[in-house]
Amino acid sequence: MSAVERSPQRSEATERYLEAIYYIEHEGEVPRPGRLAEWLGVSAPTVTVSLQRLARDGLIRIAGDRSVELTEGGAEAAALIVRRHRIVERWLTDVLGFDWATADLEAQSLTHGMSMTVLERIDESLGRPTTCPHGNVIPGRTPPEGRRLVRLLELGNGDRARVARISEVAEHEAPQLLRLLDDRGIVPGIEIGVVSRAATGWSLKVAGATVTVDPATARAIWVEAPQSD
């Protein structure tokens, strides 16, 4: 058992900050106080005080431009939080039959304070999956093999590609996105084709049906790069 797993239980607020910073960093963005305030739905002063506390506890570093990054210990703690969330999400969808959006919300409340014993038992019962229901890799697991990933926005008319994952950042900022994608069958492993692109919406072919998504939703979908890429 690692030092992080043996450490005293952290507050739910601390876990929310660490999880948010982890997701933003792993989408290639730079975490900043304003971004975190939007993500967590709190005021700028609240974020400032919370980040100072996390820095004092050695979980993050705050640069001169106010950007934030996880320390080695902070990254380890955040990865454990995300691991719990993604495993529980998988259990809620695969075993209990919840839809994506509901599973995400329920996992937020179920995972805080969950013991490693319970988490490991759930993980084992699921066969130790490599990804959450939305295709994002569970920390500590080997990513599924495949071509390099690109955003759906990078595809042109007539291109076809297999959906690999849904952006965690978009998922948390727009919970309705999960329900929309789930309802339209745009899930990891499905092949989709680009029929047409416009500023107001993208027309896609999914399992023989034509569906439309707005550009923001298209940006949240990561696919395997087409063979010709």
CATH code of 203's domain: 2.30.30.90
Evaluate whether residue 119 is within a structural domain: yes
Q: Which residue has the tokens 């971004």?
A: 35
What's at 102, amino acid-wise? T
Residue 149's identity, in one-letter code, is L
Position 110 pLDDT exceeds 70: yes
Nearest to residue 201, comparing CAs of 210, 191, 209?
Answer: 210
- Report the C-alpha gap between 85 and 172 in whole angstroms: 13
Number of domains the chain contains: 2
CATH assignment of the domain containing 35: 1.10.10.10
CB of 92 within 8 A of CB of 33?
A: no
> In the chain, what percentage of residues exceed pLDDT 70?
92
Question: Which of 138, 170, 203 represents a domain boundary (last residue)?
Answer: 138
pLDDT at 6 over 50: no
Instruction: Give the end of a domain, one of 84, 117, 138.
Output: 138
The whole-model pTM stands at 0.83
pLDDT, average across residues 208-229: 83
| pLDDT at res. 38 | 87
- Report residue 18's pLDDT band, with 50, 70 and 90 as the boundaries: very high
The answer to the question of residue 166 being in a domain is: yes
Pair (122, 196) in one structural domain: no
Going by C-alpha positions, the residue among 196, 194, 199 that lies closest to residue 221 is 194
